Amino acid sequence: MTLNIQHIREEFPVLDQEVNGRPLIYMDNAATTQKPKKVLEALSAYYTHDNSNIHRGAHTLADRATRSFEKTRTYCKEFLHSAEEEEIIFTKGTTEGINLVAATYGRKFIGKGDEIIISTLEHHSNIVPWQMLCEETGATLKIIPINDKGELIMEEFDKLLSEKTKMVAVVHASNALGTINPVKEIIDKSHKVGAKVLIDGAQSSAHLDIDVQALDCDFFVMSAHKIYGPTGLGVLYGKREVLEAMPPYQGGGEMIKEVTFEKTTFNEIPFKFEAGTPNIGDVIAFQMALEFVNKLGKTNIRKHEEDLLHHAEHQLKDIKGFIPVGTADQKLSVLSFLIKDMHPFDVGMMLDAAGIAVRTGHHCTQPLMNRFNIEGTVRASFSVYNTKEEVDKLCESVRKIAKLKNK
Ligand code: PMP
Q: Do 64 and 198 sit in the same domain of this protein?
A: yes
Distance set, CA 246 to CA 54, 82, 163, 321, 381 (Å): 25, 19, 21, 52, 37
Report the C-alpha gap between 292 and 386 in whole angstroms: 16
Q: Do 273 and 392 sit in the same domain of this protein?
A: no
Cβ-based neighbours of 333, under 8 Å, separated by 6 or more:
178, 207, 305, 306, 308, 309, 381, 382
- Final residue of a structural domain among 243, 269, 294: 294
DSSP, residue by residue, 274-336: --SS--HHHHHHHHHHHHHHHHH-HHHHHHHHHHHHHHHHHHHTTSTTEEES---SSB-SEEE
Q: Do 276 and 201 sit in the same domain of this protein?
A: yes
- Final residue of a structural domain among 294, 321, 338: 294
Report residue 158 CA to chain centroid gap.
Answer: 26
Q: How far is the CA of 264 from the centre of ligand 1 (A)?
A: 34
> 200 CB under 6 A from ligand 1?
yes
Does 140 reside within a domain?
yes
Q: How far is the CA of 390 from the centre of ligand 1 (A)?
A: 25
Protein residue with least CA distance to atom 4, ligand 1: 202
Protein residue with least CA distance to atom 8, ligand 1: 31
Closest atom of ligand 1 to 226 CA is: 15
Does 407 reside within a domain?
no
> 207 CB under 6 A from ligand 1?
no
Rounded to the nearest 5°, which phi and psi values hold at 238? -145, 150
Residue 177: pLDDT over 80: yes
Does 406 reside within a domain?
no
Residue 193: pLDDT over 90: yes
Q: Pick the catalytic residue from 76, 134, 364, 395.
A: 364
Q: Do 88 and 214 sit in the same domain of this protein?
A: yes
Q: CATH no. for residue 213?
A: 3.40.640.10
Does 35 reside within a domain?
no
- What is the DSSP-derived secondary structure letter of residue 398? H
Residue 17: pLDDT over 90: yes
Q: How far is the CA of 124 from the centre of ligand 1 (A)?
A: 8
Q: CATH no. for residue 361?
A: 3.90.1150.10
Report the C-alpha gap between 311 and 214 in whole angstroms: 33
> 91 CB under 6 A from ligand 1?
no
Residue 57: pLDDT over 80: no
Mean pLDDT over each residue of the chain, to the nearest integer:
97
Q: How far is the CA of 348 from the centre of ligand 1 (A)?
A: 21
Q: Do 288 and 306 sit in the same domain of this protein?
A: no
**Based on the structure, what is the number of domains in the chain?**
2
> 94 CB under 6 A from ligand 1?
yes
Catalytic, 134? Answer no
- Final residue of a structural domain among 247, 275, 294: 294
> 203 CB under 6 A from ligand 1?
yes
> 218 CB under 6 A from ligand 1?
no
Q: Mean pLDDT, to the nearest integer, of 373-402?
A: 98
Q: Tell me, what's the pLDDT at 1?
A: 80
Residue 115: pLDDT over 90: yes
Q: Do 279 and 172 sit in the same domain of this protein?
A: yes
Q: Do 21 and 114 sit in the same domain of this protein?
A: no
Of 94, 236, 331, best ligand 1 pocket probe by most atoms within 8 Å of the beta carbon: 94
Note down the domain range covering 323. Answer: 5-30+297-401
Q: Do 260 and 351 sit in the same domain of this protein?
A: no
Q: Tell me, what's the pLDDT at 58?
A: 87
pLDDT band at 85 (very low <50, low <70, confident <90, very high): very high
Q: Do 105 and 244 sit in the same domain of this protein?
A: yes
Exposure string of 170-180, with b = 16+ CB inside 10 Å and e = fewer, is bbbbbbbbbbb
Residue 315: pLDDT over 80: yes
pLDDT 10s digits, 334-359: 999 999 999 999 999 999 999 999 99
Q: Do 96 and 227 sit in the same domain of this protein?
A: yes
